[in-house]
A and B are shown apart, each in its own frame.
Chain A
Amino acid sequence: MQSFDLGKEGLRALNSALHALKGQTNMTDWEVINPKGAHAIAAGVDAPVNITVHGSTGYYCAGMNKHATIRIKGSAGPGVAENMMSGTVIIDGNASQYAGATGRGGLLVIKGNASSRCGVSMKGIDIVVHGSIGHMSAFMAQSGNLVVLGDAGDALGDSLYEARLFVRGSVKSLGADCIEKEMRPEHLALLADLLKRGEADGKAKPEEFKRYGSARKLYNFNIDNASSY
């Protein structure tokens, strides 16, 4: 176990050490102590290692993550796991705005709530939120899956492309071109797998969710939709 005291050694030293890990490495387990809300902790990691952050993080923790499994034992600031490529990021507490934004792959698990713009412009990432999410979540989401065990705020899935949204609780309002869709057997199977990987299989059953997706009316410019663009 590599232990790193962020208060003593500083962010650049941590991220340099993590960036130096390429491909397979013997140093597979890392812990970061005294994060104290610092920005960009473990951003840009590109190796199959386990990193545990003991405390809450600031902006962009685990951003652009590739291959690593990063667990935050606290809450995360804005833009956690932004543009994640692969790997897993698990937050034991809450996440601030635009968690998992533009994410291209991997799995983001938020055990508490996520605030506004969760999964904005997601492009292949899977996000599992055990609590609720704020307004404008999954705005312009292109692909991937967003699973919410709690409620969703205003304008869910506004201008959505092909991402799938699964919400168990209430949805305050749907955004432009986002509609409820039929839950078919393949969606139940997908959800069962996501709940399991998202450490939520004991908390909810796939049958309890509703599926939301794109009505595909805004894909191409149509003058009749001018007010919705």
Chain B
Amino acid sequence: MCGIVGLFLKDPKLEPRLGELLTDMLITMTDRGPDSAGIAIYGGAKDGLGKITIQSATPDADFKNLDGDMHDAIGQPVTMKIKSTHAVLEVPLDQIDAARSALSHLRPGVKVMSAGDSIEIFKEVGLPKDVAARFDVARMKGTHGIGHTRMATESAVTTMGAHPFSTGPDQCLVHNGSLSNHNGLRRELIRKGMTFETQNDTEVAAAYVSQKLKEGEDLGTALESGLDDLDGFYTFVVGTKNGFGVVRDPIACKPAVMAETDEYVAFGSEYRALVNLPGIENARVWEPEPATVYFWER
């Protein structure tokens, strides 16, 4: 199973409500996967600044004075917002790589959830309602976001095994299904320089898309390539800084419903995830076709 929700706002008036709408959608999908939940939100990009979302199993120790230590390491201003087991570090955009490298020395136990201009990812083991409350997702603003609630099949129930997976700047991917050729693909991607945190199949799909984007493909083309190279069952929802994409495998067993109005494009594993969205009564509601790439960019 697994439940996916996604929301890409066209009308800036809804941006203050992004977190609230996504939280409601994700909680509705709880019984599709109670193991872990996560959410990626794109918003709050500031000129010249980048964000790194980090996670620690021992946040009290790891996050203590991390902003000061990071400032000393990269010689640039650093701000840190702590949210439970996660924290968002804001550093100059051109210092993201330097900061990530410093982090691995300063706090070896800390994991990077995401990095980029506007992406923040929060994910943990537990029910969507508890994960959303822990990170106060309902009060987050943004332009688009993706949520996932997991019923684990392919790897352990851990924080790092939760979705969304982010394997490139401002990129994320969530998955309902399972891949059968992920071990071979992972080896190929490692040879091309990608790194992996887990044994999870979805992380391979995320890294596959990131590698294609790195090679210069746009999101749509990268997802088209995936139809040839990824074997298994999947409905993927993918986020980039400006875009939001959806693709289903050719057999299309894994459910997907989309709705579009002048204000938004929404995705749900089931229609009931969409029923409380504003204006849903008059939305165009459809099921994405198998082996067909859909994407929206602003």
Contact = CB atoms under 8 A, between A and B. Distances in A.
Contact of A58 (B252, B272, B285, B287): B272
B57 interface: no
Contacts of A115: 252, 287
Interface in A110-124: 115-116
A77 B285 CA distance: 12
Contacts of A94: 286-287
Interface majority SS (helix, strand, loop, mixed), chain B: loop
Contacts of B253: 97
Interface in B263-298: 270-275, 285-287, 290
Contact of B290 (A38, A59, A78, A135): A135
B145 interface: no
A196 interface: no
B275 A96 contact: no
B290 A58 contact: no
A37 B173 CA distance: 26
B116 interface: no
Nearest to B273: A37
A89 to B, nearest CB: 18
A96 B272 contact: no
A75 interface: yes
B245 interface: no
A116 B290 contact: yes
Interface in A31-47: 36-38
A97 B273 CA distance: 18
Nearest to B275: A36
A37 B271 contact: yes
Contacts of B177: none
A116 B274 CA distance: 22
B290 A75 contact: no
B255 interface: yes
B255 A96 contact: yes
A56 interface: yes
Chain B interface size band reads 10 to 19
A37 B290 contact: no
Chain A interface size band reads 10 to 19
Contacts of B270: 37, 58-59, 77
Given A96-B287, A115-B287, A38 B255 contact: no
A37 B269 CA distance: 11
A37 B255 CA distance: 13
A94 B255 CA distance: 14
A135 B252 CA distance: 9
A36 B286 CA distance: 16
Contacts of A96: 255, 257, 287
B271 A75 contact: yes
A78 B271 contact: no
A134 B252 CA distance: 10
Nearest to B281: A55
A38 to B, nearest CB: 6
Interface string A56-79: 101100000000000000010110
A56 B255 CA distance: 16
A37 B28 CA distance: 11
A116 B289 CA distance: 9
Nearest to A37: B272
B271 A97 contact: no
A2 B286 CA distance: 31
Nearest to B274: A37
Interface of B: 252-253, 255, 257, 270-275, 285-287, 290
6 contacts: A56-B271, A94-B287, A96-B255, A96-B287, A115-B287, A116-B290
Given A37-B270, A134-B290, 19 more contacts: A36-B275, A37-B272, A37-B273, A56-B271, A56-B275, A58-B270, A58-B271, A59-B270, A77-B255, A77-B270, A77-B271, A78-B255, A94-B286, A97-B253, A115-B252, A115-B287, A116-B252, A134-B252, A135-B290
